[in-house]
Every structure is written in C-alpha cells, then in structure tokens.
Structure 1
Amino acid sequence: MNAWNEVAETIAAAPYPVRALTPDPVRAEAALAAFGITTRSWLGAVVANTGGLLVDHGWLRVLGSGADGLPDVTAEADPGRRGVVVAYDVLGGVFDWRPADAGRPPTVHYYAPDTLDWQDLEQGYTDWLYAVLAGSLTAFYETLRWPGWEAEVGALAPDRGLTVWPPPSTVEGADLSLVSRAPAPLLQVVAFNQ
C-alpha cells in the first residue's frame, strides 16, 4: 500500500499553504534504493511523489527527491552518525531524523537558529510530518516570526533562505521584526548557523 494517499489528504487539510514540488522519477528511485525504503512509509511516499514540500508559505522545506534547487533527501545523509536531514526552515534551522538512544525508534531532531542547539522532538518521521501538516508550525515558530513574514518568505525560491543580522541567537537579534533580513542560498544560511 502506498502511503501517498494519506500524505496527500493531510496536505489538502493543512491550515496553511503546502506546495508539492514536481518529483524527478530517476532521483526518487535512487533515493528510495539508497535508503532501502518503500512508498509504504511517509518518507518513501514524499520522496517518490515530490521533489520536496514547501510548507506554510515556504517557511519549511521538507526534502523529497530534489527540485528547484533543493537537494534530495539523500544529499545530506551522514552515514557516520546515521542521521538524515529531512527538512530546512527559511532561517537555516535543520530537521534531522536519527536513531534514538537505547534502541528506541528514530526521532526527528531540530537544530534551532535561535538557540544554536539540537532538540529531540521525540517524534518519528511520520508523526513529525503529520504534526507539521496539521498546523504545528504556527506555535513552533511563534518567537521567530515577524509581521508580514508570509509575503517575505513566500517570495523566496525554494533554494533560498534568509540571512538575519544580528542573528536570532543574540540578544540584539531576538526580535526579528527589528533585524536586517536578506535572501541568500539556503544551504549557505544553514552553514552559517552551524
């Protein structure tokens, strides 16, 4: 059974805009084979059926088979720590799906641009993506948004993020309505934060 129908239904019911980028079938097959996953999983369904998902005006970029400058989900896999980057946010935050301690199932971890630290969200990929598509981003990013962010973020290409100066990890950068923001390549924004 293909999980895409469940994912698509959840996308259709999302409280904010979600755009599925056109998948590259060759890259999708390669990614599925690299991970040894099928379309019965939500991760496999997203990889097979999308180049990625732009969630909540593009604030979150969930990786799929790669499209419009977004890498595919295998591009950021790190066999050394066995983690898989599954999404980036526009400010350079990273969502990484990795094995948990003591043999527990893998969970999604978030590297936040305001704390510069990793947080275990204690959700597997399916539960995390379901929560994201069901509206969890609104509360999750409450302190990192500013008036008018929707138009500013929505105008960015999928491979672009926002540099913020002073950064949100500083006292001076805590209020993002008062900082300088400029478009930059998304992976450059991610690298700056790490």
Structure 2
Amino acid sequence: MNGSAWDEVLAAAQAAPYPVEMRAPDAERAESCLAELGITTRSWLGAVVAHTGGILVDHGWLRVLGSGGDGLPDIVAQADPASRWLVVGCDALGGQFAWVPAAPGAPPTVHYFGPDDLGWLDLEQGYADWLHAVLAGSLTQFYNTLRWPGWETEVAAIGLDEGIHTWPPPSTVEGEDLSKASRKAVPMAELVSFHHEMARQLGA
C-alpha cells in the first residue's frame, strides 16, 4: 500500500531479538476496525490492524492487538468509547497496554496496567515509539521482575484467549517471587477482571 507504515513495522519485527509471530488478519474485520477508529495504514497502529490479527511477541508473552482471530479480540472490541482509551495489547499475566488521549493538543501515549502494582503508568511513548521499543527488545528489562525460569514453555502452551493466574498474586509480598507461586491458565478476560477488581478493592 502506498504510504503504508507496514514495511517499517515488518522490518522492526524481523530485527527483534526474540520471536515475533504475525497472526493472519481478518480483512473484513480489519477494514471495519480502521473505519471505526478513523485511522489509516500510514500509522503504525493502522498498519498493524490492517495486516495482522495480532502480533505475538517474545514467545507470546505480549499479544499486540490487531483485527483479531484465533482467540485474540479485535482492537475495537477492547475500546472504551466513554474514556476513548484503546487497549492495544496485553501480556500473559493479564497486564494491559492502553493508548490514552492526552491533554488537548498533545498526542496520545501508551499506558501500562501491571498485575504487580495495580495502577496505570504512563510510558510517555506514542503507539509507534512503544511498539518499536517492544520489537527492539524492551520487554526483557520491562518484565525483569515478572518472569520465572521456564516461563517461555508455560506461555507457549496456553491459548491466545488465556493468561497465567498466579497465587499469591504478584501485587502481594508473598507473590513477588513467581517461581514459587502457584500458576495456572485461566481465560484472559477473567484474569484482567481479577487484577482490576483487586485494584478497586485496594483503592489503587
């Protein structure tokens, strides 16, 4: 496509220091998502939606949302029209990345809700900068305290609509060391709701 950012996305993915898998797009759903979001393939977000059902990064630890399929929701299904927040990715532990509108005149930035601190952190990166950093290897340091020996095998074994629930939760002192926690696969929607409910109860 003329003017598409897809070649840039693809080049970054091919140069990644860990495995990156592009899931096949749903052409009809991709077109619908682009129209609903009002974006084009000239942006990295639009290129990802148009050309992928989602991107699995670092053995599937991070699922970057696209037009959906194979257990991945499409990106519009995760949108919150009221706040205009757009969930653009989730990780194997139920953490979420959201593209969030900024102050008037300022570009949106990506925020992260982590299962360890149960709060939204502004990463101070636009979507393209965030995804480029992810594909360049930022996940290794970013998740340094949220992984355990052999996580790659466990994550690869779960469905794309599942995440790994750990008990005690990583937001507790007892659950900080995930190598000692009980771990099991649960539906991703259930896992995300669990962490947000914990945050609500704690007033986070």
TM-score normalised over the length of structure 2? 0.93
Look up the SS of the partner of 2:159 in the other structure: coil
Where does structure 2 lack aligned partners over 5 or more consecutive residues? 197-204
Q: Select which of 182, 185, 199 maps to 1:183.
A: 185
> How big is each residue's C-alpha offset from its partner over 1:7-45, in whole Å with a ceiling of 9 and x where there is no partner?
011000000001011100010000000011111100000
AA of the residue aligned to 1:92:
G
Percent identical among aligned pairs is: 65
Matched, 1:131 2:133: yes
AA of the residue aligned to 2:116:
D
**What residue is the counterpart of 1:140 in the other structure?**
142
Where does structure 1 lack aligned partners over 5 or more consecutive residues? none
**What residue is the counterpart of 1:9 in the other structure?**
11
**What residue is the counterpart of 1:111 in the other structure?**
113
In structure 2, what is the Cα distance between the partners aligned to 1:22 and 1:151? 23
> How big is each residue's C-alpha offset from its partner over 1:139-164, in whole Å with a ceiling of 9 and x where there is no partner?
00000000111111112221111011
TM-score normalised over the length of structure 1? 0.98
Post-superposition shift, 1:67?
A: 1.2
AA of the residue aligned to 1:3:
A
Q: CA RMSD in A?
A: 0.8
In structure 2, what is the Cα distance between the partners aligned to 1:191 and 1:174? 20
In structure 2, what is the Cα distance between the partners aligned to 1:187 and 1:13? 31
How many residue pairs match? The answer is: 194
In structure 2, what is the Cα distance between the partners aligned to 1:102 and 1:181? 43
Runs of 4+ in 1 over 6 A off after TM superposition: none
Is the contact made by 1:18 and 1:57 (CA closer than 8 Å) also made in structure 2? yes
In structure 2, what is the Cα distance between the partners aligned to 1:9 and 1:151? 26
**What residue is the counterpart of 2:82 in the other structure?**
80
> How big is each residue's C-alpha offset from its partner over 1:106-134, in whole Å with a ceiling of 9 and x where there is no partner?
00000010000110000000000000000
In structure 2, what is the Cα distance between the partners aligned to 1:193 and 1:17? 27
Is the contact made by 1:54 and 1:158 (CA closer than 8 Å) also made in structure 2? no
In structure 2, what is the Cα distance between the partners aligned to 1:172 and 1:191? 21
Look up the SS of the partner of 1:183 in the other structure: strand
